[in-house]
Structure 1
Amino acid sequence: MTAALHTLPIPPVVKTVTVACAPAKAFHVFTSQIARWYPLDRFSVKPAVDCRFEPHVGGRLYEIDATGEETLWGHVLEWNPPNALALAWRARVGDDEAQRIDVTFRAVPGGTEVRLVHAGWENLKVEPREWRDRYDGGWVEVFERRFKRFADKAG
């Protein structure tokens, strides 16, 4: 792929689920309990046993392997419980290739609509469209299935 193609807009990955709990609970589950619902066995940079948010702007989202080594996934750009959070996502890439993930939590009848938008694919230097497609499928398992199932039970 030539560099000129990297500048073409690549649509964000957008996923929306409705979970059977209030926004504050959904936000808590998404952030503070991420290691309980995130499938680390399938979606980690290294074989990981835990992952954590540092709950403030500038904080990290990172995984931890069995030896205690930490591997960065991203940095918190926005921390607005229970309404929204945003990340500079840089798993497997440097800061100059970071994408942006926005997650919003909105009360709806019967629970909370949680919307995840993963954008900025143009920042990737290698195979941005292919990575976008991989993440599109990955977020189905991670967000639409795993997070939703865990949040519904936590409700």
Structure 2
Amino acid sequence: MNTQIPVASVKQSIVVDAPIDRAFRVFTEGFGSFKPPSHNLLAVPIAETIFETRVGGYIYDRGTDGSECRWARVLAYEPPDRLLMSWDISPRWQIETDLEKTSEWEVRFTAETDNRTRVDLEHRHLERHGQGWEGVRDGVEGDRGWPLYLRRFADLFPRAA
């Protein structure tokens, strides 16, 4: 009997033309500049996306009416090398309030040269979301998920000639 075990993590990487400190800073302080505005759980358009740069902080969207959607918690903040956040969005693409049913995503920054940084993102423990977790995996792995975020992030850095 051949039983296939589904993959419960997603890995993506990109290289940007920036020193590691700058890549880390732009990723955290500028998160809203590359997060697609259409990725919105609020009932109104997003006015801004905030990444609180500390353990215990949140990543959240603030709507044009002042409402907020806290969709990730900062679990590790280790500049300029590593970030670890929760993913507090359910398979129904709504906020998950049961913290036992949240996954996590880690971002590692590795200097390849003084002016080039590799950014590795792993979204793991997707099975924690319970029934329908495969939809979360497919969403974050697909063209409108982490690959889109990383492409938009890389576009913030001009290519070296």
TM bucket normalised to smaller: 0.7 to 0.9
Could you say what the CA RMSD is over the residues aligned between the two structures, in angstroms?
1.8
Displacement of 1:153 in angstroms is 3.2
Unaligned runs of 5+ residues in structure 2 are 90-94
- What does residue 47 of structure 2 align with? 49
Q: Which has the higher contact order (CA 8 A, sep 6+)?
A: 1
Given the alignment, which residue of 116, 122, 132 partners 1:117?
Answer: 122
Tell whether 2:111 aligns with 1:107.
yes
Unaligned runs of 5+ residues in structure 1 are 1-7
Q: By percentage of residues, which structure has more helix?
A: 1
- On the 8 A contact 2:8/2:127 being kept in 1, the answer is no
Which of 47-56 and 22-31 deviates more?
47-56
- On the 8 A contact 1:9/1:122 being kept in 2, the answer is no
TM-score w.r.t. the length of structure 1 is 0.86
User: Residue deviations 1:44-90, cap 9 Å, x none?
Assistant: 22232211111111111111110111111111110001111100110
2:137 partner SS? helix
- On the 8 A contact 1:21/1:154 being kept in 2, the answer is no
Identity %: 28
Provide the aligned length of Structure 1 versus Structure 2: 145
Tell whether 2:31 aligns with 1:27.
no
CA distance in 2, matches of 1:72, 1:10: 27
